Amino acid sequence: MAKKVVLIIVTNYPQLSQTYKENEIKYLVGDYEVFVAATSKPDKPTKMHFPYFFTPDAETLAKLIKQIRPDVIHGHYLFTLPTVASAAKAAGNIPYTVRGHSFDMINKPREYLQQYNRFIGQDNFAGLLVFPFMIPTLVEAGYSQEKLIPSHPVVDYQRFLDRSPNGDGVINTGACIPKKAMHEYVDLAKLVPEKKFELIPIGYKEERLTEYNRAAGSPLTIRNTVEPWRMPKLYKRARWLVYTADRTLADVGWPMAIAEAQASGCGVLIQNIRPDMADYIDGAGYTFENLDEAAERLRTPYPTEMRERGFEVAKRSDIAANIAQLSALWEI
C-alpha cells in the first residue's frame, strides 16, 4: 500500500529555535511521504533540517499542491489556519490539522481567537493540538471541544535522556524575544557569582542581549549558534536550567527546554507567570516568584528524588509516543 502524502506548511523554516518542527517530521517520515513548504525564511537557520520547498505566495504553494497531490495537510501556529485551510480546499477538501503553540494564542483577546472559529468548525478540519491549559479559554471563545487535542511539547526524549551525573553549571536557552525576559537571567548571574552561567540564544535580538551582558560586566557566557545536536552535552554540564519569562506578557507556553533539561538530569527553575507552569513541571522542579528566590534555590542541592521524577515527567513530551496522537487524526 502506498504511503499517505503529508504536506507540512510552516513559517520561518528552518529556524534554529523551532526544533519541534524537525521532531515532528523525523517521526513522520517512516510512515508517510512528507513534503515541507516554507512560507517565509528563518531569522537564524539551522544547518540540520528536512528538505523543503520555499512557497512565499499562494501561487507557488498551489503549484506544489498540484505536483505532490497531498492526502493531508498539517501546519503550525493558529494564525496559519487561513493558509492551511485554503491549501486543503485547493487539494480537494482534504483533512488538515494545526499545532498551536504559545504567542499565537496565549493571552490573546477573545475577538482575536474567534476570528479562527470558522476554520475549526469545518468538516475537514481534523484537530487543533494545544497545551491542555488553553482548552477552557478556546472553548469559551466558541471552539468545538471535540476539535481541541490536549498535547504536550514534542521533544526528542531519547536524544536527551542521560542519567549520568551532571556538572555544576547553570544554563538557559531559547529565542531572544521579549516574552522570555532573558535580561533577567543576566541579572540572576550577577546575584550568584559563584556559579558558572551559560546562555544559548537561538535567534532574534541576540545582539541586544550580548550588549546587556557586556554592560553588566559579563556575568555569564553566551554561546551563539549552537546546533540542536550539541544541546545534550551542554545540558549535562549544568546542575540547573533557569527559564525566565516576562510576567506582564505571560505568553510563554510549556517550553521544550524544560523537558529536555529534565531528561538530561538537570534541576529546573521556571518563572511562575501562570498556575499551569507548576502543572507542567509537576513536582520535578521549582517555580520562582523573583530573582532572589531563584538565587537561593541555585545555592542549594537539587533533591535526588526530584531529579528522578524529572526523567518520568519529561517522558510525557516524548515525540516518539506523542506522534501517534497527531497521525491518528489523519486516519479518521
Q: What is the mean pLDDT of the chain?
A: 96
Correct CATH for 157-315 of 3.40.50.620, 3.40.50.2000, 3.50.30.60, 3.40.50.300: 3.40.50.2000
Q: Which fold has domain 5-154+319-330?
A: Rossmann fold (3.40.50)
pLDDT above 90 as % of the chain: 95
The band of 1, judged by pLDDT with boundaries at 50, 70 and 90, is confident
pTM exceeds 0.85 for this model: yes
The band of 31, judged by pLDDT with boundaries at 50, 70 and 90, is very high
Question: What pLDDT is recorded for position 63?
Answer: 98
Per residue in 45-103, pLDDT (tens digit) is 999 899 999 999 999 999 999 999 999 999 999 999 999 999 999 999 999 999 999 99
178, pLDDT greater than 80: yes
Per residue in 102-133, pLDDT (tens digit) is 999 999 999 999 999 999 999 999 999 999 99
253, pLDDT greater than 90: yes
Q: What is the 3-state secondary structure (H, E, C) of the chain?
A: CCCCEEEEEECCCCECCCHHHHHHHHCCCCCCEEEEEECCCCCCECCCCCCCEECCCHHHHHHHHHHHCCCEEEEECHHHHHHHHHHHHHCCCCCEEEECCCCCCCCCCHHHHHCCHHHHCCCCEEEEEECHHHHHHHHHCCCCHHHEEECCCCECHHHHCCCCCCCCEEEEEECCCHHHCHHHHHHHHHHCCCCCEEEEECCCCHHHHHHHHHHCCCCCEECCCCCHHHHHHHHHCEEEEEECCCCCCCCCCCCHHHHHHHHCCCEEEEECCCCHHHHHHCCCCEEECCHHHHHHHHCCCCCHHHHHHHHHHHHCCEHHHHHHHHHHHHCC
Question: What pLDDT is recorded for position 229?
Answer: 94
332, pLDDT greater than 80: no
Q: Which of 161, 116, 134, 138 has the alpha carbon at shortest distance from 259?
A: 161
Per residue in 209-251, pLDDT (tens digit) is 999 999 999 999 999 889 999 999 999 999 999 999 999 999 9
Question: What pLDDT is recorded for position 40?
Answer: 97
Per residue in 258-285, pLDDT (tens digit) is 999 999 999 999 999 999 999 999 999 9
Residues of the chain with CATH 3.40.50.2000: 5-154+319-330, 157-315
